[in-house]
Chains A and B, each alone.
Chain A
Amino acid sequence: MSDANTPSDVEPEHDHDHHDHEGPGYATPQAAIEEGDREKLAYVMSLYVGTDVDAPDFVAVVDLDPDSDTYCEIVDRIELPNRGDELHHFGWNACSSSCHMEGLERRHLIVPGQRSSRIHVIDAKDRHNPELETVIEPEEVFEYDLSAPHTVHCIPDGEILISMLGDADGELPGGFLELNDDFEIEGRWEPPGEIEMNYDYWYQPRQNVMVSSEWAAPKTYYPGFDLEDVEAGNYGQRLHFWDWEDGTVEQTIDLGEEGLIPLEVRFLHTPESTHGFVGAALSSNIFHFWRDGESGEYRAEKVIDFESREHDDWDMPVPALPTDILISMDDRYLFGSNWLHGEVWMYDISDPSNPRRADSLSVGGTFGEVQEVQGRELSAGPQMIQLSLDGERLYWTTSLFSSWDEQFYPEEGERGSVMLKADVDPRKGTIELDEDFLVDWGECPEGPARAHEIRWPDGDCTSDVWQ
């Protein structure tokens, strides 16, 4: 069934004023800040894949309402039908990019299994008790010679686009899979072979541009991180700039050695902007990219460099590993997480070519000053981050990818992940750990689980795009 054809019978948490638009989301990023309510629930990818716990991965519904009796608790778990998925990233069937689409609702969560290539569709009409609606089985995905689904964005007409990191065998090339608004596979979005490696992507429709980044072939990163693969050139270091309407690559930028493993890639929210950022996880740098007005070409430049640090118990200097970044809804701050070092940071990007460090928080990881919260030992560093629409609360989880967790933080599997929160003062540019906030995946009924990406029911800083 299509969200575009159902009557508008969803009762959102709040009744935001739609002003001059008819569809889901907010008319502008500023409207999201002003009209969006405080986040009271979070959906969080939760997983058992790769452990001996005999249970499928699940989507956790976390209570974030400080006035609620179940604040900081997992209040519902949507269990999936199969084990072995590795839930990772997910997205909505509709976001603010469809705010002109009358009748379309931000109602269905598209939840892919990174390892299984199975794609789940969850109906979140009841925000507190979402239900599994449809499952696209791996065999249907493999028919398009694609596997390893990663980033999910809705595209403006109600369709859904998913970056796929490998071919049906888990080798290169990856590509993009398109679903229609009935959640059926429409086909490949791009002509096959436009790119080799794939990972995250973001689009800016008003500029007719999409940007995509590179991790590696699934068979390379699935088993764990191996330096041999880096030496063999099996990890990515390129950004691809696409013609959004044609689905073809117009320009590729090789970021070089300082841009090894470019992961999360974000354009500014302002729909006219051609500026964005990407975190190069392995070389621990952040790149700024923008369109050069004169040549019309995109350029990329390293603007933040995290130094490796010596640690007594490690043989070699430990890289920071910035694995996630996000941009606040007002485009003023860039936030990120250094998973190995144990750091959450915020930079003022008012001038995107000269980010200025505003503040940071040393928590978890290999060097974090705070190693336990409420007596609960942290087992890993900050990883996936999510920011409130008003930019005042930053949340994060601690698991990166099950096999990589096992290498760098073996305790993560034994103790489970946590979700933590910091209070942000956007005016002063400061960030402070909220010691009263802790959600613990170590206490799940079947055993400790890992927690990964976080989304709010009504839009967030890493999914909404404006048309």
Chain B
Amino acid sequence: MAKQHHDVTLEWPDADRETRTVAVDEDETVLEAAERADIALPFGCRTGACGTCTGRLLEADGAESAAGDDERGTIDVTDAFSYRRSPRALKDRHRADGYVLLCIASPRVGCRLAVGASVHTELVDNPWK
């Protein structure tokens, strides 16, 4: 029987790069599938500790995210992905905002993700500025 897979569309919000769609197997992480398709996504630890691979869920299983300028907020990431191990680099506020660690996350539904180095930089800002 063929492996179950889900189509994941990758978009680079701040970089001049073409949107790409990859089929991610159920037992595969988004990062692994991207590598298989020769797509370079940022990563560091590959264990869920560093946040370098962070993506943001834009749409899952056809359900658009919140209306308005701020695209974050309404999709429940926990329904869209299963984690291989615990996503330690993300705080509760990040998970609630739709952030996903692509090195340890496998999709359960088809979805659209913001990816690339700029997504990671959204996690924390300069506290003095």
Where the two chains meet, the residues of A that have a C-beta atom closer than 8 Å to any C-beta of B are 49-52, 54, 83-86, 115-117, 138, 147, 166, 168-171, 218-219, 222-228, 313-319, 402-403, 406-408, 410, 413
Contact = CB atoms under 8 A, between A and B. Distances in A.
Contact of A403 (B52, B86, B91): B52
Contacts of B120: 50, 223, 403, 406
B81 interface: no
B84 interface: no
A281 B46 CA distance: 28
Interface stretch (B19-27, B57-65, B66-74, B121-129): B121-129
Given A169-B47, A170-B48, A50 B125 contact: no
Contacts, number: 117
A84 B126 contact: no
Interface stretch (B1-9, B37-45, B105-113): B37-45
Contacts of B46: 84, 116, 138
A170 B47 CA distance: 8
B12 interface: yes
B80 interface: no
Contacts of B50: 115, 170, 218-219, 222-223, 403
Contact of A227 (B43, B45, B121, B127): B127
Interface string B61-99: 000000000000000000000000110111100000000
Interface residues of B, number: 33
A283 to B, nearest CB: 14
Given A83-B43, A403-B120, A170 B128 contact: no
B51 interface: yes
B117 A169 contact: no
Given A52-B117, A316-B128, A318-B128, A147 B45 contact: yes
Given A170-B48, A219-B50, A227-B127, 9 more contacts: A52-B117, A84-B43, A115-B44, A169-B85, A170-B47, A218-B45, A222-B45, A222-B50, A224-B123
Contacts of B17: 52
Contacts of B123: 223-224
19 contacts: A49-B52, A50-B117, A51-B42, A52-B42, A83-B40, A84-B42, A116-B46, A169-B85, A169-B88, A170-B49, A170-B50, A170-B89, A171-B88, A222-B50, A226-B91, A226-B127, A315-B129, A403-B50, A407-B121
Nearest to A228: B91
A50 B117 CA distance: 6
B116 interface: yes
A219 B43 contact: no
A401 to B, nearest CB: 11
B129 A49 contact: no
A408 B126 contact: yes
Contacts of B43: 83-84
A224 B122 CA distance: 10
B117 A51 contact: yes
Contacts of A49: 42, 44, 52
B41 to A, nearest CB: 9
Task: Indicate the member of A84, A225, A316 with the most B CB atoms within 10 Å.
Answer: A84
Contact of A223 (B40, B86, B89, B127): B89
A225 B117 contact: no
A222 B49 contact: yes
Contact of A116 (B45, B90, B124, B128): B45
Contacts of A410: 121
Given A171-B88, A223-B50, A315 B45 contact: no
A319 B128 contact: yes
B45 to A, nearest CB: 5
Nearest to A48: B42
B34 to A, nearest CB: 11
A316 B43 CA distance: 32
B117 A407 contact: no
Nearest to B116: A52
